Structure 1
Amino acid sequence: MNSPIKRSVVISGHQTSVSLEGPFWEALNQIAVERNTSINRLITEIDRKRKNNLSSALRVFVLTNLKNQLKTFQAKTL
């Protein structure tokens, strides 16, 4: 199991730290690249919509994004 990695991020101009496992950081970075944005901007968007703690919201965002990509892939291969 991967240990959480703590990183500093800037959300709406305020610096905070977030702890996530490495694969989640990798996925967030990839999503930011695909959307042509910075990871700080992506996290700010997620933060604005969240209803639970930030780390949980980021994990759910990554999972939802991957599920949507899988659905798109499956639809194209049918």
Structure 2
Amino acid sequence: MMSLIKRSVSLEGHATSVALEAEFWAALEANARQRRLSLAGLIGEIDSQRGDRPLASALRVWALLHQGLPEG
């Protein structure tokens, strides 16, 4: 069983908590580093485009769609 890691982030001045598996956090962190963004900056970008999808789901889907792909 995979355990969730909960982190707090500030999005548009509001604190929120997100719980994801370690593998998703690692993928998001790696992509943020590659793009020279903070993790909070990347999460903010994803949040602004997620529509009605819950944030944790949007982060997981984004990480899957962008794994190992160069941004450009």
Tell me, which stretches of 5 or more residues in structure 2 are unaligned?
none
Deviation at 1:38? 0.4
Tell me how far apart the structure 2 counterparts of residues 15 and 33 of structure 1 sit (CA, whole Å). 22
Tell me how far apart the structure 2 counterparts of residues 31 and 47 of structure 1 sit (CA, whole Å). 15
Tell me how far apart the structure 1 counterparts of residues 45 and 55 of structure 2 sit (CA, whole Å). 11
Question: Which residue in 2 is equivalent to 1:12?
Answer: 12
Deviation at 1:2? 1.7
Tell me how far apart the structure 2 counterparts of residues 57 and 63 of structure 1 sit (CA, whole Å). 10
Report which structure shows greater RCO (CA 8 Å, sep ≥6). 2
Where is the helix percentage greater, Structure 1 or Structure 2?
1
Question: How many residues of Structure 1 are paired with residues of Structure 2 in the alignment?
Answer: 69
**1:21-64 deviation per Cα after TM superposition (whole angstroms, max 9, x unaligned):** 00000111111100001000100100010020000000000000
What secondary structure sits across from 1:32 in the alignment?
A: helix
In our comparison, the structure showing a higher alpha carbon Rg is 1
Tell me how far apart the structure 2 counterparts of residues 12 and 31 of structure 1 sit (CA, whole Å). 21
- Note if 1:60 corresponds to 2:64: no
TM-score of the superposition, structure 1-length normalised?
Answer: 0.82
Runs of 4+ in 1 over 3 A off after TM superposition: none
Deviation at 1:16? 0.6
Counterpart amino acid of residue 5 in structure 1: I
- Identical columns (%): 49
Tell me how far apart the structure 1 counterparts of residues 12 and 35 of structure 2 sit (CA, whole Å). 19
